[in-house]
């Protein structure tokens, strides 16, 4: 091999050219999008929308100002909302004089789809965030060998696309209290032999004539390297040694003063927040993540835990960002048992079943919904999700598979009580085509139900949003929930007849004619996921329905098959959600362009789960950050 060719291949020769090709495509597409907004979207908005959503906002949507800056945060949001409403015939309203044809509606949605090309190439900023409760507990476990239950006293937090709710003063007192506990467990009582962790963190006890302050600085360096997930700055070391001095000045011995230093590390924002390491010396607006950031981002994504020794060593050597190395590490991390965290952090949230634990079920109607059964339901979803990741199956398996994981209480819900005995979860082959996959899974069926009955509407929304990634306009603000309507004239109606009342009201009809028929397809499953042929009133269940594209089905099995055919939609939705989770922010603008590129790559891999995870992690968005502008 010639030397230049060798160097080129080292540089990722093909990658370079595909990057150039992409950049050129992007310029063309941007020009096209600008044209479309000027010549098509503008006239459409002025003809059909501007009467109400023009100079002033109606229902919070102002398309006139959105036209001026369509790719801005607010403009693109307004357009996406508008497209969702136009698509389902929710807008323009029934009584408006000018209404677009079906073809015009389709075109409008397509035009708005080009919005992403207007956005400049931008990975977004590195969003700093506090460790979640789970991440915090795992980090204490991995670094200091304490049991992760040490963090149990922290309140549970609610996470939405990576955003946490605010921290109260009480919570930071709890951080201090937990830090006290960790230090107490790490340090042996005075006069006793040091603990193993103590030796690892602080080394052997220094000889009597040693320079103790110097030894403390060395210990501070290694404590901070692990806890801050990057080499500390000199200034950061000064602060820690200052804390050590504080201890010594107050008559603490060398060991106890180092303990105080460890406590300071544990309440430092550098530990509690995943932060970038300083301002890079760069004139560029956009820079690649440094290897330390990359290591943290990667390990917290897949493990909800800090980088292990191998990742840390690769970061120290500056090798982690190399594509081959990074891919290999993704593979290695996914093989580790810690990768089950991906379900707890991401999977459960995606499926919406993180709420199941606290969800209320009518104890009279569902006495079997015990804590043990709930736990089994969540465990089934966890194992099922885990099997698709670890066996590198296609995302299609999520909706259409022929196996699941059951124990005895859960098998009873499936009507398989005879064949599965005992509390242990095990893999079970399913022969009933209505089961298998997240549509026929008790955890998801229960989480979309009310305490005493199913909700075809919730289930319809869940299928469209969580599985297919569609955008559903929210219901008008002043509409009571169906279950709360207590008019006398609804007595004696089946839930289907009741739900179909939506379709007699103009304001409800357009969305519900899309949502409800999907939910009906799952009506054979009751509110905790048991099969039934008749409803509570003893009337036969009618589970016929159709998808928005008009395809009809008459059983859950047929609905599953139809959804399984939409593998690209399934994969795109999952990819987008994983990306938002990985970046800790909502997607929009240029992100959509990157997702398009990932879609091309994962299609070649038959939408296998590992391919999706790997492409997200090696993507431009995951490996870069904007530092200015």
Stretch that binds other proteins, among 181-189, 228-236, 389-397, 501-509 (CB under 8 A): 228-236
| C-beta of residue 76 within 8 angstroms of C-beta of residue 588 | yes
* CA pair distance 21, 502, nearest whole angstrom: 50
Q: Which is nearer to other proteins, 129 or 608 (CB)?
A: 129
Contact between 13 and other proteins per CB under 8 A: no
* CA pair distance 406, 344, nearest whole angstrom: 19
Query: Pseudo-torsion of CA 271, 276, 281, 285, nearest 10°?
Result: -160
Contact between 24 and other proteins per CB under 8 A: no
Residues 300-339 that bind other proteins (CB under 8 A): none
Cα angle 299, 302, 304; round to 5: 70
Q: Which is nearer to other proteins, 170 or 309 (CB)?
A: 170
Q: Which is nearer to other proteins, 325 or 498 (CB)?
A: 498
Q: Which is nearer to other proteins, 278 or 550 (CB)?
A: 278
Contact between 479 and other proteins per CB under 8 A: yes
Stretch that binds other proteins, among 152-160, 385-393, 409-417, 509-517 (CB under 8 A): 152-160
Residues 577-596 that bind other proteins (CB under 8 A): 586
In sequence order, the 6+-apart residues with CB closer than 8 A to the CB of 322 are: none
Contact between 555 and other proteins per CB under 8 A: no
Stretch that binds other proteins, among 195-203, 480-488, 513-521, 535-543 (CB under 8 A): 480-488
Q: How far is the CB of 241 from other proteins (least distance, A)?
A: 10
Which of 481, 453, 482, 468 is closest to 541 using CA atoms?
A: 453
* CA pair distance 454, 446, nearest whole angstrom: 8
Contact between 233 and other proteins per CB under 8 A: yes
Contact between 128 and other proteins per CB under 8 A: yes
Contact between 125 and other proteins per CB under 8 A: yes
Q: Which is nearer to other proteins, 11 or 477 (CB)?
A: 477
Which of 15, 120, 203, 269 is the binder for other proteins (CB under 8 A)?
A: 269
Contact between 60 and other proteins per CB under 8 A: yes
State CA 288 to chain mean position distance: 23
Contact between 358 and other proteins per CB under 8 A: no
Q: How far is the CB of 17 from other proteins (least distance, A)?
A: 34
Which of 107, 221, 255, 275 is the binder for other proteins (CB under 8 A)?
A: 275
Residue environment code for 523-539, b if the CB has 16+ CB neighbours within 10 A, otherwise e: bbbbbbbbbeeebeeee
- In this structure, what are the phi and psi dihedrals at residue 114, rounded to the nearest 5 degrees? -85, -5
Contact between 481 and other proteins per CB under 8 A: yes
DSSP H/E element including 400: none
> Mapping DSSP to helix (H, G, I), strand (E, B) and coil, where does residue 626 land?
strand
Q: How far is the CB of 339 from other proteins (least distance, A)?
A: 27
Contact between 58 and other proteins per CB under 8 A: yes
Contact between 571 and other proteins per CB under 8 A: no
DSSP H/E element including 453: none
Contact between 173 and other proteins per CB under 8 A: yes
Q: How far is the CB of 332 from other proteins (least distance, A)?
A: 31
Which of 552, 461, 470 is closest to 499 using CA atoms?
A: 461
Contact between 73 and other proteins per CB under 8 A: yes
Contact between 172 and other proteins per CB under 8 A: yes
Contact between 286 and other proteins per CB under 8 A: no
Which of 9, 18, 28, 74 is the binder for other proteins (CB under 8 A)?
A: 74
Helix locations, 453-566, DSSP H: 456-462, 495-500, 506-520, 556-564
Q: Which is nearer to other proteins, 124 or 545 (CB)?
A: 124
Contact between 263 and other proteins per CB under 8 A: yes
Which of 167, 197, 325, 372 is the binder for other proteins (CB under 8 A)?
A: 167
Which long-range CB contacts under 8 A does 418-426 form with residues at least 24 apart? 423/372, 425/376, 425/379, 425/380, 425/383
Which of 139, 268, 299, 466 is the binder for other proteins (CB under 8 A)?
A: 268
Tokens of 507: 């304001």
| C-beta of residue 376 within 8 angstroms of C-beta of residue 428 | no
Cα angle 549, 554, 559; round to 5: 55
| C-beta of residue 273 within 8 angstroms of C-beta of residue 131 | yes
Q: How far is the CB of 273 from other proteins (least distance, A)?
A: 7
From residue 537, alpha-carbon distances to 366, 393, 439, 517, 532 in Å are 16, 41, 24, 20, 12
| C-beta of residue 361 within 8 angstroms of C-beta of residue 585 | no
In sequence order, the 6+-apart residues with CB closer than 8 A to the CB of 135 are: 300, 304, 305
Tokens of 440: 């026929």
Q: How far is the CB of 445 from other proteins (least distance, A)?
A: 21
Contact between 250 and other proteins per CB under 8 A: yes
Contact between 68 and other proteins per CB under 8 A: no
* CA pair distance 500, 515, nearest whole angstrom: 11
Which of 89, 105, 114, 129 is the binder for other proteins (CB under 8 A)?
A: 129
* CA pair distance 179, 177, nearest whole angstrom: 5
* CA pair distance 440, 437, nearest whole angstrom: 6
Q: Which is nearer to other proteins, 171 or 222 (CB)?
A: 171
- In this structure, what are the phi and psi dihedrals at residue 19, rounded to the nearest 5 degrees? -65, -45
Q: How far is the CB of 627 from other proteins (least distance, A)?
A: 8
Q: Which is nearer to other proteins, 206 or 473 (CB)?
A: 473
| C-beta of residue 508 within 8 angstroms of C-beta of residue 88 | no
> Mapping DSSP to helix (H, G, I), strand (E, B) and coil, where does residue 324 land?
helix
Q: Which is nearer to other proteins, 77 or 197 (CB)?
A: 77
In sequence order, the 6+-apart residues with CB closer than 8 A to the CB of 346 are: 577, 578, 581
DSSP H/E element including 351: helix 348-351
Which of 160, 203, 331, 540 is the binder for other proteins (CB under 8 A)?
A: 160
Q: Which is nearer to other proteins, 296 or 400 (CB)?
A: 296
Stretch that binds other proteins, among 330-338, 365-373, 456-464, 478-486 (CB under 8 A): 478-486
- x-or-dash pattern for other proteins, window 445-474, by CB under 8 A? -----------------------------x
Site size toward other proteins (CB under 8 A) is 61
The sign of the CA dihedral 363, 368, 371, 376 is negative
Q: Which is nearer to other proteins, 239 or 378 (CB)?
A: 239
Which of 165, 253, 285, 554 is the binder for other proteins (CB under 8 A)?
A: 165
Residues in contact with other proteins by CB under 8 A are: 56-60, 62, 73-74, 77, 125, 127-130, 155, 158, 160, 165-173, 176, 233, 235-236, 238-239, 242-243, 246-247, 250, 252, 260, 263-264, 267-270, 272-273, 275-276, 278-279, 474, 477-481, 484, 486, 586, 627
């Amino acid at each position: 091999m010639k030397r230049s060719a060798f160097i080129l291949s080292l540089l990722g020769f093909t990658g370079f050219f595909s990057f150039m090709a992409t950049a050129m495509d992007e310029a063309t597409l941007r020009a096209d999008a600008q044209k479309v907004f000027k010549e098509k979207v503008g006239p459409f908005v002025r003809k059909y929308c501007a009467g109400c959503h023009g100079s002033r906002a109606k229902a919070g949507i102002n398309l006139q100002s959105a036209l001026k800056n369509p790719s801005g945060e607010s403009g693109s949001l307004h357009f996406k909302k508008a497209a969702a409403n136009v698509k389902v015939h929710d807008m323009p309203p029934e009584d408006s004089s000018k209404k677009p044809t079906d073809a015009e509606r389709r075109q409008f949605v397509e035009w708005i789809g080009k919005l992403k090309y207007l956005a400049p190439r931008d990975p977004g900023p590195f969003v700093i965030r506090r460790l979640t409760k789970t991440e915090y507990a795992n980090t204490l476990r991995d670094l200091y060998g304490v049991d992760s239950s040490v963090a149990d006293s922290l309140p549970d937090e609610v996470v939405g696309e990576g955003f946490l709710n605010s921290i109260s003063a009480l919570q930071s007192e709890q951080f201090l209290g937990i830090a006290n506990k960790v230090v107490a467990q790490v340090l042996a009582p005075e006069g006793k032999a040091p603990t193993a962790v103590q030796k690892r963190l602080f080394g052997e006890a220094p000889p009597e004539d040693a320079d103790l302050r110097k030894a403390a600085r060395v210990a501070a360096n290694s404590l901070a390297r692990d806890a801050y997930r990057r080499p500390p700055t000199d200034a950061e070391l000064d602060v820690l040694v200052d804390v050590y001095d504080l201890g010594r000045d107050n008559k603490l011995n060398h060991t106890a003063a180092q303990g105080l230093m460890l406590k300071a590390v544990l309440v430092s924002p550098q530990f509690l927040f995943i932060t970038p390491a300083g301002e890079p010396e760069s004139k560029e607006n956009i820079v690649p993540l440094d290897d330390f950031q990359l290591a943290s981002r990667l390990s917290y994504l897949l493990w909800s835990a800090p980088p292990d020794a191998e990742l840390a060593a690769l970061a120290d050597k500056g090798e982690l960002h190399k594509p081959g190395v990074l891919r290999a590490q993704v593979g290695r991390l996914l093989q580790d048992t810690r990768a089950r965290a991906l379900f707890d952090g991401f999977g459960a949230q995606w499926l919406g079943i993180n709420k199941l634990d606290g969800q209320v079920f009518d104890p009279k109607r569902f006495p079997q919904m015990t804590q043990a059964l709930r736990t089994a339901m969540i465990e089934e979803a966890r194992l099922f999700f885990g099997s698709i990741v670890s066996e590198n199956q296609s995302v299609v398996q999520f909706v259409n598979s022929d196996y699941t994981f059951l124990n005895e209480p859960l098998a009873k819900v499936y009507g398989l009580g005879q064949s599965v005995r005992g509390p242990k979860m095990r893999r079970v082959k399913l022969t009933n085509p209505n089961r298998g996959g997240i549509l026929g899974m008790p955890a998801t069926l229960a989480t979309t139900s009310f305490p005493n009955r199913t909700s075809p509407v919730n289930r319809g929304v869940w299928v469209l949003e969580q599985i297919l990634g569609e955008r559903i306009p929210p219901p008008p603000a002043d509409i009571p929930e169906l279950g709360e309507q207590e008019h006398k004239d609804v007595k004696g109606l089946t839930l289907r007849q009741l739900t179909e009342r939506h379709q007699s009201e103009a304001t409800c009809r357009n969305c519900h004619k899309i949502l409800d028929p999907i939910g009906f397809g799952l009506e054979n499953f009751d509110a905790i996921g048991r099969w039934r042929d008749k409803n509570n009133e003893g009337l036969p269940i009618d589970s016929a329905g159709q998808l928005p594209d008009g395809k009809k089905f008459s059983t859950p099995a047929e609905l599953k098959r139809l959804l399984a055919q939409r593998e690209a939609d399934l994969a795109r939705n999952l990819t987008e959600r994983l990306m938002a989770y990985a970046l800790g922010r909502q997607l929009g603008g240029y992100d959509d362009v990157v997702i398009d590129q990932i879609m091309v790559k994962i299609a070649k891999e038959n939408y296998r789960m590992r391919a999706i995870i790997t492409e997200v992690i090696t993507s431009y968005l995951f490996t870069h950050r904007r530092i200015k502008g």
